[in-house]
Chain A
Amino acid sequence: MKKLWLLILGAAAGSAVFADYPSTYDPPPHVAFVITNATVDVGEGQGEFKGWVSVAAGKIDAIGAMDQPRPSAALEINAAGRWLTPGVIDVHSHLGDYPSPGYRAHSDGNEATSPVTAEVWAEHSVWPQDPQFPLALAGGVTTLQVLPGSANLFGGRSVVLKNIWSRTVQGMKFPGAPYGLKMACGENPKRVYGSKSKAPSTRMGNFAGYRKAWIDAQEYQKKAQRYEKALGEYELWRTSNQGEADYKEPPSPPKRNLQMETLVGVLAGEILVHNHCYRADEMAQIIDLSHEFGYQVTAFHHAVEAYKIGDLLAANNICSAMWADWWQFKLESFDGIKENVAMVQAAGACAIVHSDSATGIQRLNQEAAKAMAAGQRLGLAVDASVALTWITRNAAQALGVADQTGTIAVGKMADLVLWSHPPMSVYARAETVFIDGIRRLDRATGLSPVTDFELGQREEVF
């Protein structure tokens, strides 16, 4: 976001006042280690091999097959009979903003008071003591995106978190991860506002609402650009004409508008659009909307009908985040099919399995496995290694952090899971989970975070 503010306000115009809410995540140092004898799948969909992975300073520093020489490390972890994968990533979660216990006092996911609330940030709702975080860790989840809910056309900014125990949400924020903007199609916005006799009450009302907001954002962007230009001219004058008589006042910046800042962030390509959208026909129209205003949709979430338009999604470079088998709970999910994820994959588009559920996030590997098996029954060529990319590499790509995590590759964060069984098996449990090389869960020693909420009343639950 800093770059954006430089763009809008210029370096001299008081960026200190508009400081970000920076990540304070700072993993402690640890001794270098090497995991050996593991069945390794690096998360590129290319299959598995018996090998080792060495970790130093929180990063993966070498990978090899068992017959290849490995660096000596202070600690050697023998993972014989275990499967090693990248940490699981959930691109759609409400942990912290819809925590457990789930009372109204805790229910902070939907600012359902106006259809456009691009100004709210999910991180300001996240309760870091939500006991659902350790449950997700027990399912191997190392990174997750927490989103605002889907009551609004523009729900607000998302935040990408490392799944660690912290006193503050800043302590969980994934350093440098781009923000997301939550948008929503279909039934939810029109139901929430239609029931209050406000716009939108129809799908066409939804679209009018999106377009109006983007037009406003374009205006705001122009204003910011005019200011930036004037500031540039002023700076030029100041540096070249110092001390001369025709003294100029610096231009005053436009009044900040948080809603517009987020939308302009999307138009500038700095904030990624995560669009809740079930139906294929609506996704196709959202793609037109993105063309009208010149922005990129990063991912459609809950894309239960993505299988109908895999070609269109591939051509537009849009990921689909999907459930394995949720359907028919609402009319726009009526055409959900188990083969969805595999069909999107087969169409050459980016496929992701997401949860949107504090239950489902505990077993994204099983959900990927269900989707894989359904594809195989249909005769599609999807194997366990490809299915793993749906909850690792492709998820990292949609969050804009694929250069840092999502696969086991030299230089990336050591976000790793050791599984008891092949990860696509229902019997697989995450036995050991590392985040940036730090062991955060280890069943053998009983290591698992205990949130403040659980302390003294729920500690026995692993």
Chain B
Amino acid sequence: MKKLLLVMGLLSVTSLSAEELLIKNVRLVETSFQSGEMTDLRIVNGIIAQIGAGLVPKEGAAIFDGGSHPVTPGFIDSGTTIGLAEVRGLGVSHDGEQAGDDMTAGFQVYLALNDASSLIPIASNDGITRGLIVPEAGDSNYAGQSALVRFKQGPSFLQQKAMAQHLYLREGDRGLAGGSRSSALAGALHALEASARYDRQQRAFNTNKNRPFDLDESDLLALSAVRLGNMPLVVHVDRAADIKKVVTAFSAYPDLRLILAGAAEAWKVAALLSRQNIPVLINVMDNLPKNFDRLGARLDQATLLAEAGVTFAFLSGSPYSETRSLSQAAGIAVAQGLSWQQALAAITSAPAAIWGLEGLGRLEVGAIADLVIWNGDPLEVTSAPLAVLVDGEWVNLETRQGALAKRYVELLNLK
């Protein structure tokens, strides 16, 4: 953060074209909705330059009156599919998985992203400013690489092409590897080993002199990155017994950065996850025992993970249903015993830390100005953003849904 501050300082001093936005009178809520200091935020070139009461605008600064409303960092969704399909049920327009190949570690969703998707402003209206766009399992347990986006329509949508590799080892996914979870896990490890051999024999590979690989070069390169810790590995797995096996198996690779997703029964092995410092991404509302891997699924999982000292963040999984609202998920977690502060952290600072997103997830000097000004308690289902800032720029909150509402309110004279 210090480096960033230095750079910032230089910018504000030397750049004559520095753009300043001064947000007056917002309440910085961190520990609870009731507490939080009334303050102003000075934003210069997309970075929070100063926080304090009574800040004086520089000449030419844009001023926004926050009306004493609460402000939070923009929410970070640790797993959704926005940009991969406009209408999920159509099938034809869904680009989140690669079929017909038994190994797709090299698959990258970013090439398919639609930066004009009508679902982007829907996320903005839920207070979400960044998110991981995650591939789903096609015909391979390794589904490929997620991308990081900023929720803003247009060319700045894509932030990072490849964030993480995704490996699916849930009950339904073993079908991808011959019907047994044993072969699914063995296959995943075998592929990592192949990537190591590839690294050793790169010259031979390039001259076709090595023993042939059963993987494409793009898969081998992708898995090398995972093995060497250049890209985290997100394992989508539910059953406690499987989580233990995954943790043991991948601990053979000291540099590999393991993250669990879904993880319905993570609470049963919370001590292990805490000890090994393995973060968990959970969908709070997903508490159904939908299969025998998920018998331990429960609504208060976040509370149990917090008590055990496990790092966790929330994901929505889908933009199409009630699970898409991260603030609702966080509110439910509070009702189930998590502290308000930890619930907010699970959609702001915790995912920023898990994904290594420097400058995001916190409102502090030097941070990137991703923030949301709310009309009420940010975790309440009745609240909504009044304004959303991404990289210091206002996000257009208008949606085609809003236009439809307006048309029919007028047509039916409902007001």
Proximity string of chain A (332-365) to chain B, C-beta cutoff 8 Å, 1 when within and 0 when not:
0011111100010011000000000111101100
* Contact A366:B320 (CB < 8 A) given known A328-B87, A329-B87: no
Contacts of B90 in A (CB 8 A): 330-331
Q: Which residues in B have their C-beta under 8 angstroms from that of A388?
A: none
In the bound assembly, the distance between CA atoms of A187 and B87 in angstroms comes to: 13
| In-complex Cβ contact of B295 among A324, A329, A379, A458 (8 A) | A458
> Is A56 close to B, CB under 8 A?
no
Interface check A264, CB cutoff 8 A: no
A372 contacts which chain B residues (CB < 8 A)? 382
* A100-B288, A359-B322 as given contacts; A426 in contact with B405, CB under 8 Å: no
Is B296 close to A, CB under 8 A? yes
Q: Does residue B34 face the partner (Cβ distance < 8 Å to A)?
A: no
B401 touches A337 (CB 8 A): yes
Question: Which stretch in A36-44, A267-275, A306-314 binds the other chain?
Answer: A306-314
Report the Cα distance A461→B215, complex, angstroms: 43
**Of listed A330, A425, A426, residue having the most chain B CB within 10 A:** A426
Interface size on B, residues (CB 8 A): 49
Whether the pair B320, A461 counts as a contact (CB closer than 8 A) is no
Say which residue of B118, B288, B295, B409 sits within 8 Å of A457 (CB atoms).
Answer: B295
Q: Are A334 and B408 in contact (CB under 8 A)?
A: no
Per-residue 0/1 for B275-312: is the Cβ within 8 Å of any A Cβ (1 yes, 0 no)?
Answer: 00000000001111111101111111000000000000
Q: Once the chains bind, are A359 and B286 in contact (CB under 8 Å)?
A: yes
B-contact 0/1 string along A292-335, CB 8 Å cutoff: 00000000000000011011000000000001111111110011
State in angstroms the CA–CA spacing of A358 and B286 once bound together: 10
Q: Given A324-B322, A346-B414, A426-B332, check contact A307 B89 (CB 8 Å).
A: no
- A100:B290 contact, CB within 8 angstroms: yes
Q: In residues 77-96 of chain B, which contact A (Cβ within 8 Å)?
A: 86-90
CB of A389 closer than 8 Å to a CB of B = no
A375 shortest CB reach to chain B, Å:
9
Determine if A426 and B380 form an interchain contact, defined as CB atoms under 8 angstroms apart. yes
Contact B405 A135 (CB under 8 A): no
Q: Which residues of A contact B405 (CB under 8 A)?
A: 307, 337-339, 343, 378
B370-415 residues with Cβ-Cβ distance < 8 A to A are 379-384, 401-402, 404-405, 408-409, 412, 414-415
CB <8 Å contact, B384 and A373: yes
Mask: chain B, 108-139; 1 = CB below 8 Å from A; 0 = not: 00000000001100000000000000000000
Q: Does A4 contact B (CB under 8 A)?
A: no
**In the complex with contacts A346-B414, A358-B288, A426-B328, A331-B409 CB distance below 8 A:** no
- How does the 8 Å CB contact mask read for B235-274 relative to A, with 1 for contact and 0 for none? 0000000000000000000000000000000000000000
Which chain B positions have C-beta within 8 A of A357? 321-322
B290–A102 CB distance below 8 A: yes
| A366-B381, A458-B295 known; A359 vs B323 contact (CB < 8 Å) | yes
Given A101-B290, A101-B291, A370-B381, residue A326 in contact with residue B328 (CB < 8 A): no
- Complex formed: what's the CA distance from A45 to B120 in Å? 36
Set of chain B residues within 8 Å of A428, measured between Cβ atoms: 335
Asked if A426 and B321 make an inter-chain contact with CB atoms under 8 angstroms apart, the answer reads no
Q: Does A427 contact B (CB under 8 A)?
A: yes
CA of A425 to CA of B383, assembled, Å: 10
A57 near B: Cβ within 8 Å? no
Question: Within the assembled complex, what's the spacing in Å between the Cα atoms of A220 and B261?
Answer: 56
Where chain B touches its partner, the secondary structure class is loop
Cross-chain contact B292 with A101 (CB below 8 angstroms): yes
B331 close to A (CB within 8 Å): yes
B297 lies within 8 A of A461 (CB): yes
B334: Cβ under 8 A from any A Cβ: yes
Quote the shortest CB–CB distance from B274 to chain A (angstroms). Answer: 20
**In the complex, are the beta carbons of B415 and A380 less than 8 A apart?**
yes
Interface centre among B295, B319, B331, B414 (most CB of A within 10 A): B414
Query: Which residues of A are found within 8 Å of B401, using beta-carbon distances?
Result: 327, 335-338
Q: CA–CA, A329 to B415, complex, Å?
A: 30
Decide if B288 touches A377 in the complex (CB within 8 Å): no
Q: How far is the CA of A203 from the CA of B385 in the complex (A)?
A: 39
Chain A contact residue count (CB 8 A cutoff): 60
- Contact: B288 with A335, CB < 8 Å? no
Residue from B289, B294, B415 having most chain A Cβ neighbours under 10 A: B289
Answer whether residue A407 sits at the interface, using C-beta atoms and an 8 A cutoff: no
Least CB distance, B93 to chain A, in whole angstroms = 10
**B328 / chain A contacts, CB cutoff of 8 Å:** 366, 370, 426
* Residues of chain B with a CB closer than 8 A to A325's CB: 322, 324-325
CB distance from B150 to the nearest CB of A (A): 21
Q: Which chain A residues lie closer than 8 Å to B298 at the CB level? A: 461-462
Residue of B nearest to A324 (CB): B322
Contact among B285, B321, B379, B402 for A326, CB-based, below 8 A: B321
Chain A residues whose C-beta falls within 8 Å of the C-beta of B295 in the assembled complex: 457-458
Contact residues in A for B402 (Cβ distance below 8 Å): 337
Contact between B334 and A458 (Cβ–Cβ < 8 Å)?
no
CB distance from B8 to the nearest CB of A (A): 36
CB-based contact B381/A369 at 8 Å? yes
Contact B414 A347 (CB under 8 A): yes
In the complex, A123→B176 CA distance in Å? 36
- Our pick among A100, A311, A335, A379 for the contact of B289 (Cβ within 8 Å) is A100
Q: Is A367 an interface residue (CB 8 A)?
A: yes
Residues in B whose Cβ lies below 8 Å from that of A331: 87, 89-90
Instruction: Give A50-74 as 1s and 0s: 1 = Cβ < 8 Å from B's Cβ atoms.
Output: 0000000000000000000000000
Cα–Cα, bound, A159→B263 (Å): 35
Residues from chain B with a CB closer than 8 A to the CB of A334 are 87
Smallest beta-carbon distance A314→chain B, Å:
10
Please indicate the chain A residues that have their CB under 8 angstroms from the CB of B86 in the complex. Answer: 328
A426-B331 CB under 8 A given contacts A366-B381, A461-B298:
yes
| Residues of the B chain whose Cβ atoms lie less than 8 Å from the Cβ of A343 | 405, 408-409, 412, 414
The answer to whether A326 touches B384, judged by C-beta atoms less than 8 angstroms apart, is no
A457 to B323, CA, bound (A): 26
Q: Which listed residue (B286, B289, B325) contacts A458, Cβ 8 A?
A: B289
The 9 A-B residue pairs with the shortest CB-CB distance, nearest first, are: A426-B331, A330-B89, A329-B320, A373-B382, A346-B414, A337-B401, A339-B405, A461-B298, A426-B381
- Listed in ascending order, the chain A residues whose CB lies under 8 Å from chain B are 100-103, 131-132, 135, 187, 307-308, 310-311, 323-331, 334-339, 343, 346-347, 357-360, 362-363, 366-367, 369-370, 372-374, 377-380, 420-421, 424-429, 454, 457-458, 461-462
Q: List 10 A-B contacts (CB under 8 A).
A: A131-B289, A324-B322, A326-B322, A327-B401, A346-B415, A367-B322, A378-B405, A426-B331, A428-B335, A462-B300
